[in-house]
Structure 1
Amino acid sequence: MVALPLAGWAVHRFGSKIVIIISAFCYLSFLSLIGWSTSIWMLVPVLVVFGMLGNMMNISLNTQALALEDSYGRSILASFHGLWSLAGFTGAGIGAVMIYLDMMPRYHFLIVSGLVLLMLLLSQSYLIKEKSHGGGGGLVLRKPDDLLLRIGAIAFLGMLSEGCMFDWSGVYFKKVVQIDPGLVALGYVSFMGAMATGRFASDSLNNRFGRILILRISGILIFSGLLLSVLFPTPVLATIGFLLVGLGVAAIIPVSYSIAGRSKLYSPGVALALISTISFFGFLLGPPMIGFIADLLSLKASFVLVGIAGLGIALLTSIRLAVFESMEVTRK
């Protein structure tokens, strides 16, 4: 969170290409340092800097992708987010292999750092230098305009849904669906698989039907999937419900970033930092909120709340459409 305004300023001031290269090299260095941290007093500051560098890369990479998207003249941002999802699967798979081999984390992190460093060296020359923007680029986060407030609210609800599925899908399948212990992860895997697949399909759908309609359908899918899982908590129907939620969540963040990056008042880096700040609150607040409601009422009731978040997304993309039309983002 602390890094977001700094990232927006750095990208605006120096360009996304420079920020990507510097933050990526530093990111790899601090990944290795995590493995070599021998005390809590060393580990905590290393993790803090590692987290800051992660968001520096988040903002700069998305800004670079937006510049590339503009050069293509069509939506491609969601495919990059799909690659991010695939990288999550790949990282988890490598981690599982390292655990099987009983390899110490420090060597695991060094191997991953080496692989990523090689990819960075091979690809950094292809990064483009995006055009300069006249929008605001101050270090301090300022009040968003109407468009960014609307997109921020949509991204907040999307990240709230995403965070809850990350943290609570396994618990739901264990406590509510009461599935065989060996299949507890089925809900999470179905959600993640659908989200990754949906992101690769989102770009062509955005180009054909427009970003706002896709966001509206995404909200409806989140609501429908969770309603199905709550009303019929059987292994088959709950899995189908989680698949629908994954498809619904898939497009929300990439489309929100794509719209925000075209703000006429802010440079892409600053606009993305604003939206990321708002949406991260949803990712952080959602899971503990689910736990609180589950403790107070039931886990089913808490998942109904996430379903209502999906309805909120559908509502926010159905009223006062002039906010979007004024920025010419409904079809692009």
Structure 2
Amino acid sequence: MTETQCETAVGTTTHSFFPATRRAVSLLFFLNGLMMGSWAPKIPLFAAALGLSESGLGIMLFVFGAGSLLLMPIAGFQIVRFGSRQVVQVATILFVPTLLGISLVDNVWSGAIAVFLFGGLTGAMDVAMNANAVEVERAMRRSIMSSCHAFWSLGGLVGSALGGYLIAVTGDLGHSVLMVGTALILFLIARPSILADRPHTSEQRTKARLPLTPLPWLVGLVALFSMIPEGATLDWGALYLRTELGASVSFSGFAFAAFSLAMAGMRFAGDLVRDRLGAVRTLRLCTAASFIGLVTAGLAPNLTVALVGFAVAGVGISNMVPIAFSAGGNIPGLAPGIGLSVVTTLGYSGILFAPSVIGFVAEHTSLSAVFTAVSFLNVVVFALSGLARHADRTSG
């Protein structure tokens, strides 16, 4: 999509701080986060309904991740053919009802299919909405990716916070019906204003295959090494506080709370910081904060220091992934859908699969050692931070 086409698509709102196209894509991010947050409190009910052991549930979560990683590249190819607007609409319409399937399964095989579709279609929607956000960034000549991801975090917070209460009041199926209905309403509100980007030319479509050049894979490595610490904190932070720092069960959840609140808050401010400092400098500052925070958490002598460390890490990681996604969608000579599919697939593989590897390593060492070691992934990101210059194409 050319710069002129983008400006035409956005219309008179091009130079507005929060035009309709930006509101629409932000709403899509919130919707996706809401659905993912609604899944979290269902996991114990899902496992109980199917009689799953811990290992059985682990396999189901692996199927969830496999679905995401399989459909993400497929969505990228479809974006090249049809444009992100068309793909995000189809992916959202198909994804939203899959939450009902989670509540209706009655055996392991139907459960595996439901989880595969839920994970796969959320991944497809994720690629498409990120691609649409890249197009809105180009049209506005302003960074918006960090705030889009902040809306995703906000949606996840709302979905998970309300989930337990709604399940207790309405039951598992009632909760799904309410969330699906809410998500469909949000989609109908957003749909008319989704940026109408155009499919790419036939010449660009011939490039719609997994790229052989190293650049998109290196940007994907930045996303991967940025998301592994997020997955580690989500899955192992509470256990670390409880088993190695003596926190109570009720207090142990504050590890991810401190991390996620700091991350969400900084994501709303991240676009302004990136526009002022540039993507490369912003990524380097964020990487340094992530490194300091994770080392502080991993070597913490007490709970207070650990929580400060996780909060600082959240501030750092907040804008690393959005910058990587913006860069992936602006790689020269590569269709945005393909670049984004590579970056998102590599990035999300970190948050989906790395925690299980971390569990194996922690069993033979300690979680303190794990968080300290994970911090050094930031050294690689810092070394590759020059690649973030491609994210700045949105403002030029």
TM-score relative to the length of structure 1: 0.92
Separation (CA, whole Å) in 2 of partners of 1:77 and 1:327: 10
Tell me the number of residue pairs that the alignment of Structure 1 and Structure 2 aligns. 326
Separation (CA, whole Å) in 2 of partners of 1:220 and 1:186: 23
1:286-325 to 2 correspondences below 5 Å: 286-317=354-385, 321=386
Partner of 1:39: 107
Residues 226 and 378 of structure 2 are in contact (CA less than 8 Å); yes or no, is this contact kept in structure 1?
Answer: yes
After superposition, give the CA deviation of every residue in 1:204-240 in whole Å (9 maximum; x if it has no partner). Answer: 0000001111111121111101211222231211111
User: Quick check: 1:200 aligned with 2:258?
Assistant: no
Residues 32 and 109 of structure 1 are in contact (CA less than 8 Å); yes or no, is this contact kept in structure 2?
Answer: yes
Residues 82 and 199 of structure 2 are in contact (CA less than 8 Å); yes or no, is this contact kept in structure 1?
Answer: no
Separation (CA, whole Å) in 1 of partners of 2:300 and 2:124: 42
Partner AA of 2:79 in structure 1:
V
Alpha-carbon spacing, 1:138–1:49, altered in 2? closer, same or farther (3 Å): farther
Partner AA of 1:85 in structure 2:
S
Partner AA of 1:200 in structure 2:
F
Percent sequence identity is 27
1:146-161 to 2 correspondences below 5 Å: 146-161=214-229
Alpha-carbon spacing, 1:136–1:263, altered in 2? closer, same or farther (3 Å): farther
Match of 2:348 among 269, 273, 280: 280
5+ residue gaps, structure 1: none
Partner AA of 1:113 in structure 2:
V
**Mean alpha-carbon deviation: is it higher for 262-271 or for 200-209?**
262-271
Question: SS at the partner of 2:376?
Answer: helix
Separation (CA, whole Å) in 2 of partners of 1:324 and 1:248: 15
Partner of 2:44: none
1:110-259 to 2 correspondences below 5 Å: 110-134=177-201, 135-136=204-205, 140-143=209-212, 145-259=213-327
Separation (CA, whole Å) in 2 of partners of 1:10 and 1:51: 18
Partner AA of 1:35 in structure 2:
S
User: Quick check: 1:267 aligned with 2:330?
Assistant: no
Separation (CA, whole Å) in 1 of partners of 2:394 and 2:91: 33
Partner AA of 1:71 in structure 2:
A
Residues 298 and 370 of structure 2 are in contact (CA less than 8 Å); yes or no, is this contact kept in structure 1?
Answer: no
Partner of 2:176: 109
Alpha-carbon spacing, 1:157–1:181, altered in 2? closer, same or farther (3 Å): same
5+ residue gaps, structure 2: 1-68
Alpha-carbon spacing, 1:329–1:64, altered in 2? closer, same or farther (3 Å): closer
Separation (CA, whole Å) in 2 of partners of 1:290 and 1:176: 16
TM-score relative to the length of structure 2: 0.78
Match of 1:77 among 138, 145, 149: 145
Alpha-carbon spacing, 1:330–1:235, altered in 2? closer, same or farther (3 Å): farther
Partner AA of 1:315 in structure 2:
A
